[in-house]
A and B are shown apart, each in its own frame.
Chain A
Amino acid sequence: MTHRVKLPLLLAAVIALCACTSFVKASVATLAAAQGFIAQAQTNHKAQCTAAPTTPFPCVMINQAVDAQNVAVSALETYCQVPVAPTPEMLSSQGSTACNPNPTAKQILVAALSNLGAIVAQYKAQSGGQP
């Protein structure tokens, strides 16, 4: 292979690797933000929703966000090629396993994050932006 062919391939590989790394970090940041929003919403509406958990807004929607959050975490674990939803024992023994991005699993993660974002956006639209 000539240098003319090798160079673009090397650059593409480096860019792809950097993109994977930043994509994981962006996904973690998105999930951490949603986690904080959901936790605050649960605190704010605990009394109301414990008494009437089937109230569509905010009670059912908050639980939908919880489900979407956990689906997105599982999708990120799949993307990272680490055990998905590990048992406490597995987490204890394999908790330090590092993320190893698998680009072929990216679409599922993007869809899961998009679904979570849509639920949070819908919630904010109904709450005026408040958790």
Chain B
Amino acid sequence: MTVLALIQLALSALQSVAPYLPSGGTIEKVVSEAVAAIGGAITSLQNGSAPETLAELESLRTTKVW
């Protein structure tokens, strides 16, 4: 499972409990802010933040010249 899939799962879980929280309470406010923040993180991940690959990591090696 990818990081994005796990974050989406967490977002779904938060969204599923949100309707059962007391209206106007601190917890509801925290959850709604968390849902917004996680939504932003998902958008960021979907907009080109592809996970690093083995090829990319290997390209960071250097060699001795002398």
Are the C-beta atoms of B51 and A82 separated by less than 8 Å?
no
How many inter-chain contacts with C-beta < 8 Å in the A-B complex?
106
Collect the chain B residues with CB atoms within 8 Å of residue A10's CB. 10, 13-14
Collect the chain A residues with CB atoms within 8 Å of residue B65's CB. 42, 46, 49-50
Are the C-beta atoms of A86 and B58 separated by less than 8 Å?
yes
Are the C-beta atoms of A96 and B55 separated by less than 8 Å?
yes
Are the C-beta atoms of B31 and A28 separated by less than 8 Å?
no
Chain B contact patch, size range: 20 to 34
Collect the chain B residues with CB atoms within 8 Å of residue A6's CB. 13, 17
In this complex, what residue of B is CB-closest to A24? Answer: B52
Collect the chain A residues with CB atoms within 8 Å of residue B27's CB. 7
Cβ-based interface call for A38 (8 A): yes
Contact indicator per residue, chain A 17-46, by CB within 8 Å of chain B (1) or not (0): 110110011001001100100110010001
In this complex, what residue of B is CB-closest to A67? Answer: B64
In this complex, what residue of A is CB-closest to B14? Answer: A10
| Other contacts beyond A13-B6, A13-B10, A80-B52: 13, CB < 8 A | A21-B49, A46-B65, A49-B65, A49-B66, A53-B66, A69-B60, A69-B62, A76-B57, A77-B54, A82-B57, A98-B2, A98-B50, A98-B51
Collect the chain A residues with CB atoms within 8 Å of residue B54's CB. 77, 80, 82-83, 86, 91, 94-97
Cβ-based interface call for A73 (8 A): yes
Collect the chain B residues with CB atoms within 8 Å of residue A99's CB. 51-53, 57
Q: How far is the CB of A97 from chain B (nearest CB, A)?
A: 5
